[in-house]
Amino acid sequence: MDAQALFVFAGRLFRETYSADLPASDLEEYVSKNFGVNQQLAEIIDLAGAVFIAVGDDGIAGYAHLAGDNVSTDQNLLLKRLYVDAS
């Protein structure tokens, strides 16, 4: 999966969800720091976590980001993000 596409998707949904509650400058700073292309790429390739992406006819429809010590073992994982495009 393309980190750029995930950045665009996650940033759009975060903005849509929180734009009424946060000042625009704070919102953009948060999106840049937490959903930037480099951050998305790091999460995608991190062997201690997993990113699951749901793709529909129009592109990304949702994604989940799990984190833990090692996803390939039987241990607890933390659901860090679950985003679904309701449109």
Q: Are 84 and 62 in contact (CB under 8 A)?
A: yes
Q: How far, in Å, CA of 73 to CA of 80, rounded? A: 18
We find that the CATH architecture of domain 3-84 is 3-Layer(aba) Sandwich (3.40)
Domain boundaries, the chain: 3-84
User: Confidence class of residue 37 from pLDDT cuts 50, 70 and 90?
Assistant: very high
Tokens at 67, concatenated? 């984190």
Query: What is the per-residue pLDDT for 77?
Result: 84
Task: For residue 50, list its beta bridge partners.
Answer: 66
Report the SS3 class of residue 57: coil
Task: For residue 60, list its beta bridge partners.
Answer: 55
Q: How far, in Å, CA of 35 to CA of 13, rounded? A: 11
pLDDT digit string (tens) for 66-83?
A: 988 765 666 778 999 999
pLDDT digit string (tens) for 4-35?
A: 999 999 999 999 999 999 999 999 999 999 99
